[in-house]
Structure 1
Amino acid sequence: MGFERKLAALSSLRPDIAILCEVACPERLRSQLPVLEGMPIVWVGNKANKGLAVVSFTGSRIELDSSYRSNNQFVAPVHVSGAKSFRLLATWDHNDRTEGLNRRPGPLLRCLVDSADFCSRGDLVVAGDFNNNPRWDKPNGPNNMSVLAQELARRQLVSLYHRGTGEAFGSELRGTYWHYRRSAMPYHIDYLFVPMTWLTDLVSFELGDYDAWCANGLSDHAPLSAEFRDTETYLTPPSRV
Protein backbone atom coordinates (compact mmCIF):
# COMPACT_ATOMS: atom_id res chain seq x y z
CA MET A 1 0.00 0.00 0.00
CA GLY A 2 1.18 3.55 -0.67
CA PHE A 3 3.78 2.24 -3.09
CA GLU A 4 4.49 5.65 -4.57
CA ARG A 5 6.28 6.73 -1.37
CA LYS A 6 8.21 3.46 -1.10
CA LEU A 7 9.66 3.03 -4.58
CA ALA A 8 12.92 4.77 -3.68
CA ALA A 9 13.55 2.35 -0.82
CA LEU A 10 12.80 -0.62 -3.08
CA SER A 11 15.04 0.76 -5.83
CA SER A 12 17.92 0.98 -3.36
CA LEU A 13 17.96 -2.84 -3.36
CA ARG A 14 18.71 -2.76 -7.12
CA PRO A 15 16.15 -5.45 -7.92
CA ASP A 16 15.88 -7.32 -11.17
CA ILE A 17 12.70 -9.09 -10.09
CA ALA A 18 10.61 -7.78 -7.17
CA ILE A 19 7.68 -9.51 -5.51
CA LEU A 20 5.29 -7.00 -3.95
CA CYS A 21 2.33 -7.79 -1.71
CA GLU A 22 -0.73 -5.62 -1.08
CA VAL A 23 0.02 -3.46 -4.11
CA ALA A 24 -2.32 -1.77 -6.58
CA CYS A 25 -2.93 -3.02 -10.12
CA PRO A 26 -0.51 -1.98 -12.90
CA GLU A 27 -2.81 0.72 -14.28
CA ARG A 28 -2.96 2.49 -10.93
CA LEU A 29 0.73 2.01 -10.26
CA ARG A 30 1.72 3.53 -13.60
CA SER A 31 -0.67 6.44 -13.19
CA GLN A 32 0.98 7.25 -9.85
CA LEU A 33 4.53 6.45 -10.94
CA PRO A 34 5.28 7.16 -14.61
CA VAL A 35 8.76 5.66 -14.10
CA LEU A 36 7.05 2.25 -14.11
CA GLU A 37 5.75 2.79 -17.65
CA GLY A 38 7.24 0.14 -19.87
CA MET A 39 8.34 -2.09 -17.00
CA PRO A 40 6.80 -5.59 -17.25
CA ILE A 41 4.37 -6.27 -14.40
CA VAL A 42 2.37 -9.41 -13.62
CA TRP A 43 -0.45 -8.73 -11.16
CA VAL A 44 -3.17 -10.91 -9.64
CA GLY A 45 -5.99 -9.83 -7.38
CA ASN A 46 -9.69 -9.06 -7.12
CA LYS A 47 -9.40 -5.51 -5.78
CA ALA A 48 -7.67 -2.86 -7.88
CA ASN A 49 -5.90 -1.32 -4.90
CA LYS A 50 -4.59 -4.50 -3.26
CA GLY A 51 -3.08 -7.56 -4.92
CA LEU A 52 0.18 -9.35 -5.64
CA ALA A 53 2.63 -7.98 -8.21
CA VAL A 54 5.82 -9.24 -9.81
CA VAL A 55 7.79 -6.39 -11.37
CA SER A 56 10.73 -6.73 -13.77
CA PHE A 57 13.01 -3.72 -13.28
CA THR A 58 15.77 -4.66 -15.74
CA GLY A 59 13.98 -6.02 -18.77
CA SER A 60 13.48 -9.70 -17.99
CA ARG A 61 10.26 -10.96 -19.58
CA ILE A 62 7.64 -12.17 -17.13
CA GLU A 63 4.44 -14.05 -17.94
CA LEU A 64 1.70 -15.58 -15.80
CA ASP A 65 1.42 -19.32 -16.39
CA SER A 66 -1.91 -20.58 -17.73
CA SER A 67 -2.26 -22.87 -14.70
CA TYR A 68 -2.97 -19.91 -12.40
CA ARG A 69 -6.28 -20.30 -10.58
CA SER A 70 -8.01 -17.37 -8.95
CA ASN A 71 -9.25 -19.56 -6.09
CA ASN A 72 -5.60 -19.80 -5.03
CA GLN A 73 -5.86 -16.08 -4.45
CA PHE A 74 -2.46 -14.39 -4.38
CA VAL A 75 -0.11 -17.19 -5.41
CA ALA A 76 1.10 -16.60 -8.96
CA PRO A 77 3.12 -19.02 -11.12
CA VAL A 78 5.27 -16.70 -13.25
CA HIS A 79 7.76 -17.47 -16.04
CA VAL A 80 10.87 -15.27 -15.84
CA SER A 81 12.95 -15.08 -19.02
CA GLY A 82 16.14 -13.03 -19.09
CA ALA A 83 19.76 -13.20 -18.04
CA LYS A 84 18.64 -15.97 -15.71
CA SER A 85 15.45 -17.77 -16.65
CA PHE A 86 13.45 -19.60 -14.00
CA ARG A 87 9.96 -20.33 -12.73
CA LEU A 88 8.75 -18.15 -9.89
CA LEU A 89 5.94 -19.02 -7.51
CA ALA A 90 5.30 -15.51 -6.19
CA THR A 91 3.46 -15.73 -2.91
CA TRP A 92 1.22 -13.70 -0.68
CA ASP A 93 -0.36 -16.67 1.06
CA HIS A 94 -3.56 -15.11 2.33
CA ASN A 95 -4.31 -17.71 4.98
CA ASP A 96 -7.78 -16.53 5.96
CA ARG A 97 -9.01 -18.92 8.64
CA THR A 98 -12.61 -18.15 7.67
CA GLU A 99 -11.83 -20.16 4.52
CA GLY A 100 -11.41 -23.22 6.71
CA LEU A 101 -7.66 -23.51 6.32
CA ASN A 102 -7.34 -25.37 9.59
CA ARG A 103 -9.21 -28.13 7.78
CA ARG A 104 -7.62 -28.01 4.31
CA PRO A 105 -4.39 -26.90 2.61
CA GLY A 106 -3.89 -23.21 1.99
CA PRO A 107 -3.44 -21.44 -1.37
CA LEU A 108 0.31 -22.09 -1.68
CA LEU A 109 0.01 -25.80 -1.00
CA ARG A 110 -2.95 -25.98 -3.39
CA CYS A 111 -0.98 -24.17 -6.09
CA LEU A 112 1.80 -26.75 -5.88
CA VAL A 113 -0.85 -29.28 -6.97
CA ASP A 114 -2.90 -27.14 -9.36
CA SER A 115 0.26 -25.94 -11.15
CA ALA A 116 1.98 -29.31 -10.85
CA ASP A 117 3.71 -29.21 -14.24
CA PHE A 118 4.95 -25.67 -13.67
CA CYS A 119 6.25 -26.61 -10.20
CA SER A 120 7.87 -29.89 -11.21
CA ARG A 121 10.87 -28.32 -12.96
CA GLY A 122 14.26 -27.89 -11.32
CA ASP A 123 14.38 -24.12 -11.78
CA LEU A 124 11.55 -23.29 -9.34
CA VAL A 125 11.81 -20.38 -6.89
CA VAL A 126 9.16 -19.86 -4.20
CA ALA A 127 9.23 -16.50 -2.46
CA GLY A 128 7.08 -13.98 -0.68
CA ASP A 129 4.86 -13.54 2.36
CA PHE A 130 3.73 -16.96 3.55
CA ASN A 131 1.83 -15.62 6.60
CA ASN A 132 2.92 -18.82 8.33
CA ASN A 133 5.37 -20.19 10.90
CA PRO A 134 5.63 -23.56 12.69
CA ARG A 135 4.84 -21.79 15.97
CA TRP A 136 1.23 -21.69 14.81
CA ASP A 137 1.04 -25.29 13.57
CA LYS A 138 -1.95 -27.33 14.68
CA PRO A 139 -1.82 -31.05 15.47
CA ASN A 140 -2.04 -32.75 12.05
CA GLY A 141 -2.98 -29.39 10.52
CA PRO A 142 -3.09 -29.56 6.70
CA ASN A 143 -1.89 -25.95 6.41
CA ASN A 144 1.02 -26.25 8.84
CA MET A 145 4.23 -24.43 7.93
CA SER A 146 6.13 -27.59 8.80
CA VAL A 147 4.14 -29.43 6.09
CA LEU A 148 4.94 -26.73 3.56
CA ALA A 149 8.64 -26.62 4.48
CA GLN A 150 8.88 -30.39 4.09
CA GLU A 151 7.13 -30.26 0.72
CA LEU A 152 9.54 -27.62 -0.58
CA ALA A 153 12.53 -29.55 0.79
CA ARG A 154 11.26 -32.62 -1.07
CA ARG A 155 11.49 -30.54 -4.22
CA GLN A 156 15.15 -29.77 -3.42
CA LEU A 157 14.38 -26.15 -2.46
CA VAL A 158 16.16 -24.42 0.41
CA SER A 159 15.25 -21.35 2.46
CA LEU A 160 18.17 -18.94 2.16
CA TYR A 161 17.63 -17.48 5.62
CA HIS A 162 17.66 -20.88 7.33
CA ARG A 163 20.52 -22.14 5.20
CA GLY A 164 22.63 -19.13 6.21
CA THR A 165 21.79 -19.08 9.92
CA GLY A 166 21.40 -22.79 10.64
CA GLU A 167 18.26 -21.98 12.61
CA ALA A 168 15.32 -24.37 12.53
CA PHE A 169 11.95 -23.36 11.16
CA GLY A 170 10.00 -21.91 14.07
CA SER A 171 13.18 -20.98 15.99
CA GLU A 172 14.18 -17.91 13.98
CA LEU A 173 16.05 -15.24 15.92
CA ARG A 174 15.15 -12.48 13.45
CA GLY A 175 11.69 -11.44 12.38
CA THR A 176 10.49 -10.38 8.95
CA TYR A 177 7.25 -8.82 10.20
CA TRP A 178 6.38 -6.71 13.25
CA HIS A 179 2.80 -6.84 14.46
CA TYR A 180 1.32 -3.34 14.73
CA ARG A 181 4.84 -2.16 13.77
CA ARG A 182 5.99 -2.85 17.34
CA SER A 183 9.64 -3.82 17.67
CA ALA A 184 8.79 -6.16 20.56
CA MET A 185 6.42 -8.22 18.37
CA PRO A 186 8.54 -9.79 15.60
CA TYR A 187 7.42 -12.79 13.55
CA HIS A 188 9.25 -14.71 10.82
CA ILE A 189 6.70 -15.23 8.06
CA ASP A 190 8.47 -14.22 4.80
CA TYR A 191 10.66 -16.72 2.97
CA LEU A 192 12.88 -17.08 -0.09
CA PHE A 193 13.29 -20.67 -1.31
CA VAL A 194 15.65 -21.41 -4.21
CA PRO A 195 16.95 -24.63 -5.82
CA MET A 196 19.85 -26.21 -3.96
CA THR A 197 21.79 -26.17 -7.22
CA TRP A 198 21.77 -22.35 -7.11
CA LEU A 199 23.75 -22.20 -3.87
CA THR A 200 27.09 -22.44 -5.64
CA ASP A 201 26.26 -19.17 -7.43
CA LEU A 202 24.93 -17.34 -4.38
CA VAL A 203 26.78 -14.07 -3.80
CA SER A 204 24.75 -12.65 -0.94
CA PHE A 205 21.52 -12.91 0.99
CA GLU A 206 20.15 -10.09 3.12
CA LEU A 207 17.21 -9.60 5.44
CA GLY A 208 16.26 -5.99 6.15
CA ASP A 209 15.94 -4.85 9.73
CA TYR A 210 13.29 -3.11 11.79
CA ASP A 211 14.98 0.28 11.95
CA ALA A 212 15.43 0.60 8.19
CA TRP A 213 11.99 -0.60 7.11
CA CYS A 214 9.52 -0.43 9.97
CA ALA A 215 10.58 2.21 12.51
CA ASN A 216 10.44 4.87 9.79
CA GLY A 217 6.94 3.87 8.70
CA LEU A 218 7.80 2.28 5.35
CA SER A 219 6.28 -1.10 6.15
CA ASP A 220 5.55 -3.68 8.82
CA HIS A 221 7.68 -6.20 6.88
CA ALA A 222 11.36 -6.21 5.93
CA PRO A 223 12.58 -7.37 2.50
CA LEU A 224 14.53 -10.52 1.77
CA SER A 225 16.96 -10.18 -1.13
CA ALA A 226 19.47 -12.44 -2.83
CA GLU A 227 22.13 -11.94 -5.48
CA PHE A 228 23.49 -14.70 -7.67
CA ARG A 229 26.82 -14.73 -9.49
CA ASP A 230 26.99 -13.75 -13.18
CA THR A 231 23.30 -12.91 -13.58
CA GLU A 232 23.06 -10.25 -10.87
CA THR A 233 19.52 -11.45 -10.34
CA TYR A 234 17.74 -10.18 -7.25
CA LEU A 235 14.64 -11.77 -5.77
CA THR A 236 13.10 -9.35 -3.34
CA PRO A 237 9.78 -9.90 -1.60
CA PRO A 238 9.44 -6.75 0.54
CA SER A 239 5.85 -7.42 1.59
CA ARG A 240 3.74 -4.33 2.00
CA VAL A 241 6.51 -2.18 0.55
Structure 2
Amino acid sequence: MRIVSWNCNGGLRNKLHLLAAFQADVLIIQECEDPGIGPKTYHEWADQYLWTGLNKTRGLGIFAKNGLKILPLEWEDAGASLFLPVEVSGGMQIVGVWTQASASSRDSYIGQFWHYFQLNRGQFGAKTLICGDFNSNSRWDTPRRLWNHTRCVTELESLGYLSLYHQLTGESQGAETRPTFYLHRNLGKDYHIDYA
Protein backbone atom coordinates (compact mmCIF):
# COMPACT_ATOMS: atom_id res chain seq x y z
CA MET A 1 0.00 0.00 0.00
CA ARG A 2 1.42 3.38 -1.00
CA ILE A 3 0.64 6.16 1.49
CA VAL A 4 1.46 9.84 0.90
CA SER A 5 1.25 12.66 3.44
CA TRP A 6 1.48 16.29 2.37
CA ASN A 7 0.73 19.70 3.80
CA CYS A 8 -0.65 21.26 0.63
CA ASN A 9 -0.76 24.80 2.13
CA GLY A 10 -4.35 25.25 0.97
CA GLY A 11 -5.99 25.12 -2.43
CA LEU A 12 -5.71 21.35 -2.91
CA ARG A 13 -8.39 21.53 -5.60
CA ASN A 14 -5.82 23.37 -7.78
CA LYS A 15 -2.92 21.01 -6.97
CA LEU A 16 -4.38 17.58 -7.67
CA HIS A 17 -2.10 17.14 -10.69
CA LEU A 18 0.92 17.25 -8.34
CA LEU A 19 -0.31 14.09 -6.59
CA ALA A 20 -0.98 12.00 -9.70
CA ALA A 21 2.63 10.83 -10.14
CA PHE A 22 2.65 9.24 -6.68
CA GLN A 23 -0.15 6.80 -7.55
CA ALA A 24 -1.02 6.68 -3.86
CA ASP A 25 -3.55 4.33 -2.34
CA VAL A 26 -4.09 6.61 0.65
CA LEU A 27 -3.36 10.34 0.93
CA ILE A 28 -3.16 12.23 4.22
CA ILE A 29 -3.43 15.92 3.34
CA GLN A 30 -3.05 18.80 5.78
CA GLU A 31 -4.40 22.32 5.11
CA CYS A 32 -6.85 21.13 2.46
CA GLU A 33 -10.34 22.45 2.00
CA ASP A 34 -13.43 20.32 2.60
CA PRO A 35 -14.18 18.43 -0.65
CA GLY A 36 -17.87 18.74 0.20
CA ILE A 37 -17.79 22.45 -0.65
CA GLY A 38 -15.23 22.38 -3.46
CA PRO A 39 -15.84 22.31 -7.20
CA LYS A 40 -17.23 19.16 -8.80
CA THR A 41 -13.81 18.01 -10.08
CA TYR A 42 -12.36 18.17 -6.55
CA HIS A 43 -15.34 16.34 -5.06
CA GLU A 44 -15.12 13.62 -7.71
CA TRP A 45 -11.36 13.25 -7.17
CA ALA A 46 -11.90 12.98 -3.40
CA ASP A 47 -14.57 10.27 -3.79
CA GLN A 48 -13.76 8.09 -0.73
CA TYR A 49 -12.61 10.50 1.98
CA LEU A 50 -12.95 11.72 5.54
CA TRP A 51 -12.24 15.31 6.51
CA THR A 52 -12.13 17.44 9.66
CA GLY A 53 -11.31 21.10 10.19
CA LEU A 54 -11.86 24.26 12.15
CA ASN A 55 -13.32 25.90 9.05
CA LYS A 56 -14.23 24.65 5.57
CA THR A 57 -11.14 26.05 3.85
CA ARG A 58 -8.37 24.52 6.01
CA GLY A 59 -8.50 21.08 7.49
CA LEU A 60 -7.15 17.56 7.47
CA GLY A 61 -8.32 15.03 4.92
CA ILE A 62 -7.64 11.35 4.35
CA PHE A 63 -8.42 10.13 0.85
CA ALA A 64 -8.60 6.46 -0.23
CA LYS A 65 -7.99 5.45 -3.84
CA ASN A 66 -7.86 2.30 -5.97
CA GLY A 67 -11.01 0.77 -4.49
CA LEU A 68 -9.95 1.13 -0.85
CA LYS A 69 -12.51 2.19 1.72
CA ILE A 70 -11.97 4.17 4.90
CA LEU A 71 -14.15 4.31 7.98
CA PRO A 72 -13.97 6.79 10.85
CA LEU A 73 -12.78 5.53 14.22
CA GLU A 74 -14.63 7.04 17.17
CA TRP A 75 -11.68 7.98 19.37
CA GLU A 76 -11.61 10.59 22.13
CA ASP A 77 -10.42 14.00 20.99
CA ALA A 78 -11.09 16.34 23.94
CA GLY A 79 -11.50 19.19 21.48
CA ALA A 80 -8.37 18.37 19.47
CA SER A 81 -10.05 18.57 16.09
CA LEU A 82 -7.09 18.08 13.77
CA PHE A 83 -6.51 14.39 14.38
CA LEU A 84 -8.28 11.99 12.07
CA PRO A 85 -8.28 8.30 13.04
CA VAL A 86 -9.53 5.98 10.30
CA GLU A 87 -9.60 2.31 9.44
CA VAL A 88 -8.55 1.38 5.92
CA SER A 89 -9.83 -1.72 4.10
CA GLY A 90 -7.98 -4.71 5.51
CA GLY A 91 -7.85 -3.51 9.10
CA MET A 92 -4.99 -1.00 9.01
CA GLN A 93 -5.53 2.10 11.15
CA ILE A 94 -4.18 5.51 10.19
CA VAL A 95 -4.12 8.51 12.48
CA GLY A 96 -3.77 11.66 10.40
CA VAL A 97 -2.10 14.51 12.29
CA TRP A 98 -1.94 18.27 11.86
CA THR A 99 -0.85 20.12 15.00
CA GLN A 100 -1.02 23.89 15.22
CA ALA A 101 -0.13 26.85 17.39
CA SER A 102 -2.45 27.54 20.29
CA ALA A 103 -3.00 30.43 22.70
CA SER A 104 -1.66 28.16 25.45
CA SER A 105 1.85 26.75 25.03
CA ARG A 106 0.55 23.66 26.84
CA ASP A 107 -1.77 22.96 23.95
CA SER A 108 0.50 23.96 21.07
CA TYR A 109 2.03 21.65 18.49
CA ILE A 110 3.53 18.55 20.12
CA GLY A 111 1.47 19.20 23.26
CA GLN A 112 -1.67 18.57 21.21
CA PHE A 113 -0.33 15.22 20.05
CA TRP A 114 0.85 14.27 23.55
CA HIS A 115 -2.60 14.86 25.03
CA TYR A 116 -4.37 13.12 22.14
CA PHE A 117 -2.05 10.12 22.45
CA GLN A 118 -2.58 9.88 26.22
CA LEU A 119 -6.36 9.85 25.69
CA ASN A 120 -6.18 7.12 23.06
CA ARG A 121 -3.05 5.09 23.78
CA GLY A 122 -5.16 1.96 24.30
CA GLN A 123 -6.59 2.32 20.78
CA PHE A 124 -3.22 2.32 19.01
CA GLY A 125 -2.43 -1.18 17.75
CA ALA A 126 0.21 -3.08 15.82
CA LYS A 127 -1.39 -2.04 12.51
CA THR A 128 -1.60 1.69 13.27
CA LEU A 129 0.28 4.32 11.26
CA ILE A 130 0.59 7.78 12.83
CA CYS A 131 1.35 10.24 10.05
CA GLY A 132 1.26 13.93 9.26
CA ASP A 133 2.42 17.44 10.05
CA PHE A 134 3.47 17.53 13.71
CA ASN A 135 5.10 20.98 13.42
CA SER A 136 7.67 19.70 15.91
CA ASN A 137 11.31 18.69 16.23
CA SER A 138 13.52 17.74 19.17
CA ARG A 139 15.61 20.88 18.48
CA TRP A 140 12.79 22.83 20.09
CA ASP A 141 12.41 20.70 23.22
CA THR A 142 11.60 22.44 26.47
CA PRO A 143 13.51 20.13 28.83
CA ARG A 144 11.22 20.29 31.86
CA ARG A 145 8.02 19.93 29.89
CA LEU A 146 6.49 16.47 30.16
CA TRP A 147 5.32 16.40 26.55
CA ASN A 148 8.24 17.69 24.52
CA HIS A 149 9.15 16.11 21.18
CA THR A 150 11.80 13.78 22.59
CA ARG A 151 9.46 12.52 25.30
CA CYS A 152 6.79 11.74 22.69
CA VAL A 153 9.32 9.88 20.52
CA THR A 154 10.61 7.91 23.52
CA GLU A 155 7.11 6.91 24.57
CA LEU A 156 6.12 5.91 21.04
CA GLU A 157 9.31 3.88 20.65
CA SER A 158 8.60 2.05 23.92
CA LEU A 159 5.36 0.86 22.31
CA GLY A 160 7.06 -0.20 19.08
CA TYR A 161 6.38 2.90 16.96
CA LEU A 162 9.42 4.10 15.03
CA SER A 163 9.85 7.03 12.66
CA LEU A 164 10.11 5.68 9.11
CA TYR A 165 12.43 8.50 8.06
CA HIS A 166 14.83 7.90 10.93
CA GLN A 167 14.75 4.13 10.42
CA LEU A 168 15.56 4.46 6.72
CA THR A 169 18.27 7.12 7.04
CA GLY A 170 19.84 6.15 10.37
CA GLU A 171 19.76 9.83 11.36
CA SER A 172 18.99 10.95 14.90
CA GLN A 173 15.96 12.99 15.89
CA GLY A 174 16.91 16.67 15.61
CA ALA A 175 19.81 15.98 13.22
CA GLU A 176 17.78 15.41 10.05
CA THR A 177 19.52 16.32 6.80
CA ARG A 178 16.37 16.43 4.66
CA PRO A 179 13.85 19.14 5.47
CA THR A 180 10.11 18.68 5.12
CA PHE A 181 9.24 22.37 5.48
CA TYR A 182 10.63 25.77 4.47
CA LEU A 183 9.35 28.61 6.66
CA HIS A 184 7.84 31.32 4.43
CA ARG A 185 9.14 29.25 1.46
CA ASN A 186 12.65 30.45 2.38
CA LEU A 187 15.23 27.77 1.49
CA GLY A 188 17.43 29.10 4.30
CA LYS A 189 14.77 28.29 6.91
CA ASP A 190 14.45 24.55 6.52
CA TYR A 191 13.01 22.22 9.15
CA HIS A 192 12.04 18.59 9.54
CA ILE A 193 8.57 18.61 11.14
CA ASP A 194 6.58 15.89 9.36
CA TYR A 195 6.65 12.26 10.44
CA ALA A 196 5.25 8.78 9.83
TM-score by length of structure 2 reads 0.87
Question: Which residue number corresponds to residue 235 of structure 1?
Answer: none
Match in the other structure for 2:115: 110
Residue 90 of structure 1 corresponds to: 96
**Cα distance change, pair 34–46 in 1 and its aligned pair in 2 (3 A):** closer
Q: Is the 8 A contact 1:104 1:142 kept in 2?
A: no
Of the two structures, which has the highest relative contact order with CA contacts closer than 8 Å and spacing of 6 or more?
A: 1
Note if 1:33 corresponds to 2:38: no
> Which blocks of at least 5 consecutive residues in structure 2 are unaligned?
1-9
Deviations 1:84-141 (A, max 9, x none): x3111110022x241232799722222222223321x211111000000011111222
- 8 A Cα contact 1:102 1:142, kept in partner: no
The offset of 1:179, in angstroms, is 0.6
CA contact (8 A) 1:130 1:189 kept: yes
What is the root-mean-square deviation of aligned Cα atoms in Å?
2.1
User: Which of these residues, 6, 9, 15, is aligned with residue 18 of structure 2?
Assistant: 9
Q: Deviations over 1:129-178 (max 9, x none)?
A: 00000111112223311011112111211111111111100011110000
What does residue range 1-241 of structure 1 map to in structure 2 within 5 Å? 1-29=10-38, 31-36=40-45, 39-69=47-77, 71-82=79-90, 85-94=91-100, 96-101=101-106, 106-119=111-124, 121-192=125-196
8 Å CA contact retained: 1:16, 1:56? yes
**Distance between the aligned counterparts of 2:108 and 2:86, measured in 1?**
28
Consecutive unaligned residues in structure 1, runs of 5 or more: 193-241
Amino acid in structure 2 at the alignment position of 1:144: N
| TM-score calculated relative to the size of structure 1 | 0.72
SS at match of 1:27: coil
Which contiguous aligned blocks of 4+ residues in structure 1 show a shift greater than 6 angstroms? 102-105
- Between Structure 1 and Structure 2, how many residues are aligned? 187
Q: Does structure 2 retain, via aligned residues, the 8 Å contact 1:87–1:118?
A: no
The verdict on how the C-alpha distance between 1:30 and 1:108 changes in structure 2, with shifts beyond 3 A counting, is: farther
Letter in structure 2 aligned against 1:12:
A
Q: 1:34 deviation in Å?
A: 4.7
Contact 2:86/2:93, CA 8 A, preserved across alignment: yes
- Once residues 184 and 125 of structure 1 are traced to their aligned partners in structure 2, the CA distance between those partners, rounded to angstroms, is 31
Query: Which residue matches 2:3?
Result: none
Percent of aligned positions that are identical? 27
Distance in 2 (alpha carbons) for counterparts of 1:134 and 1:118: 25
d(CA) in 2 for partners of 1:41, 1:68: 20
- Whole-Å separation in 1 of the counterparts to 2:108 and 2:84: 23
Q: Is the contact made by 2:165 and 2:195 (CA closer than 8 Å) also made in structure 1? A: yes
